[in-house]
Amino acid sequence: SAVISQKPSRDICQRGTSLTIQCQVDSQVTMMFWYRQQPGQSLTLIATANQGSEATYESGFVIDKFPISRPNLTFSTLTVSNMSPEDSSIYLCSVGDPRETQYFGPGTRLLVL
């Protein structure tokens, strides 16, 4: 299993600013994933982050808006840039597992005013 922590757990931000969300895993993992969960909705995959390479973004998400870093096998950051109220969501970090189980962090609750 993998234990995932995220910082911050929640934040309230002003429009036009940026927020960087940190994801820490207690073991080395090859791939990490970032998801967004808008209010009352299901989870949507933002991007896949591999250590040492550029993140792969899903349709509708771009690097300029959601830059991702993956400096090592236990850590990743997601930045939400130039925020607007539409970015108010829960952002979740997730890691895969060779046995096909995926683990999720507790999420970062973001409110943009």
Partner 1 sequence: DAKTTQPNSMESNEEEPVHLPCNHSTISGTDYIHWYRQLPSQGPEYVIHGLTSNVNNRMASLAIAEDRKSSTLILHRATLRDAAVYYCILRAYSGNTPLVFGKGTRLSVIA
Decide whether 83 or 92 has the Cβ nearer to partner 1: 92
Is residue 61 near partner 1 by the rule CB under 8 A?
A: no
Sign of the Cα torsion 81, 28, 7, 5 reads positive
Q: Judged by CB under 8 A, does residue 27 bind partner 1?
A: no
Q: Report d(CA 20, CA 23) in Å as an integer.
A: 10
Cα–Cα distance, 82 to 61 (Å, whole number): 14
- Binder to partner 1 among 11, 13, 22, 31 (CB under 8 A)? 31
Triad 85, 90, 50: Cα angle to 5°: 115
Residues 62-101 that bind partner 1 (CB under 8 A): 92, 94, 96-101
Shortest CB 109 distance to partner 1, Å: 9
